[in-house]
Chains A and B, each alone.
Chain A
Amino acid sequence: MKADHHHVAVIGGGVAGLTAVDALAGWGVQVSLFEKTSILGGHAVQLNCKATDACVKCGACVAADKLWRATRHANVDFHTDTEIEEIAGQLPYRIRYRSHRSGQSRSAAIQADAILVTTGFSPYDPSEKPYGYGQFENVITSLDAERLLRENTLIRRPSDGQPARRMAFIQCVGSRDARLGHDWCSKICCASSMRMARLIQSRQPDTQITFFYIDVQTFGKDFQCFYQIARENFSMIRAIPCDIFRTAADDLEVIYFDPHDKASKEAFFDVVVLSIGLVPGRDNADMARMLGLPLDASGFMHPGGDDRRAWPAGVYTAGAATGPMTIAESVSSAEKSVFDIVRYLGVG
């Protein structure tokens, strides 16, 4: 691969950023990847494979694959534990960054002919919801559940280590929520939770699983089939609970309004999983300001695309920074942006 003299900065080392790094490096461009945490792969790489007897196409392995591919190129430099301090100049952009690696704080700068922002999303913090997150140990988020599964391959009650026999998933926590001003669907939570629930049942077959939901979104090419199996194995309650209490026996009491019987009811669980939504990255506002990028009404970045009025030249966005999306969509989004960048740089 002959070297090119262009230098592209990719800000954010999740699946979109890594996909872009791999694609750009393949075109001979020099790439610098900046990641504020110490690990590459973002949220996607923390997810478990959800296969039971066959792959369910969740994409978790794709994230790992993109990480592996990105690290094979010679013309890429990685900067983890690094924050962007300032982006100045017109073109080329001068990016000043601060690295916190090995406990030492050091500042440096590079020049970039193009910038791709792939800073991803922030998971919604459900502490403000009346579900006792942060007070009741056995109320966990979907990300907490991923960690538990990764460490133990089973879900055990955080409070006493007993296997969780009765589990509830509460969907749309922080999404489709007018009171919060979150007027969007986070897209991935129906897929993610249902696949996780099937995985849990395949490992702990006597686990009873209840889904509290508003609507079930479509996922995968075989959705109707998967949904049918899900409905046979889960208790589906089309209501969102209003309260959770902890009983004296350390059960979780979930209060909800049953749509069938038109009555308030309670159900008891060992563990409640809150399917938290994807909200705009905490750094979105800062990054947008640094680059002169617009944010949409919800606080996500615009994807840019073909309609790029009042958009700074050479600056692109991709992935979940622009809105909730699946791993497959993040890969596509990054590839589309790389196409734009390669065109813009006149490389291809």
Chain B
Amino acid sequence: MSKAESDGQHLARLLETELQGKVALRRVSYSDRELADPIAKGRLVASLESAKLVVALGDESSRLVLGEVENARVYFVAASASGQTLRGGSVSCLFTYSAEDLLRALPEKAKRGVLVLYTPGYEPLLPEIKAAAAKAGAQVTAKSVAGRRQLPDAVRDTEDMTKAIWVLGDPILDEGASFEFLTERALALGLPLMTAAAGRVARGAALASVAAPESLTRRAAQAIAALAAGGKAGGLALAPAGGPIIYNAALKDRLGLSPRAPQWQKAQ
């Protein structure tokens, strides 16, 4: 079983425990093989579409739901991406990373100019990020990027003031050619690149944060219970502080990172 699978199972168990007796959950699991089988995939998507609320745990499930589910309400937990691809009656998302943890992990000089890049749809996160910046003693500048083509200019326009770059996880910015551009640019300028998905750290980013499963599922359970009672889940939210920081050991000295055990963990 991969780490993603075991993490997903662990989150599912914690969530079921938190909601036991309060909300009836039905666990749905699937494999790559089933997704490649159009019969099995059709049955899976049909069952999700009819659910009153779909809770997607982790990036793998989030990608499936983002790609296939159109009408059901969706609550993403421990996802690293959200944004304008979400449609329909959804959507709420509890991201897997903590703004406060990430900003505190930066070297002091990097805190003085954090460029936050985001795509339309991520605006609701900005107040939480600014509040976390105030707590961490950081200064952030948020810049909306409409798409991949606008990314280079968005970075170059603010290079003079930028001491760190933080990408809020939309796949448009956080994957493929965009991610390669950001890692190269950050490396060339000697800036830490903070990313939403821990997996990106091994591929060139400097830092990522992962929520502690217990506090994450506690917050998710509160939101799900609120939804079950007919209330609103609160749009997009970041994970509570206190989880691990994933760092790129190869960039530690160059960027002046100061890993602190046990919270800091090397990217695998």
Say whether A associates with B. no
Query: Residues on A close to B: CB < 8 A?
Result: none
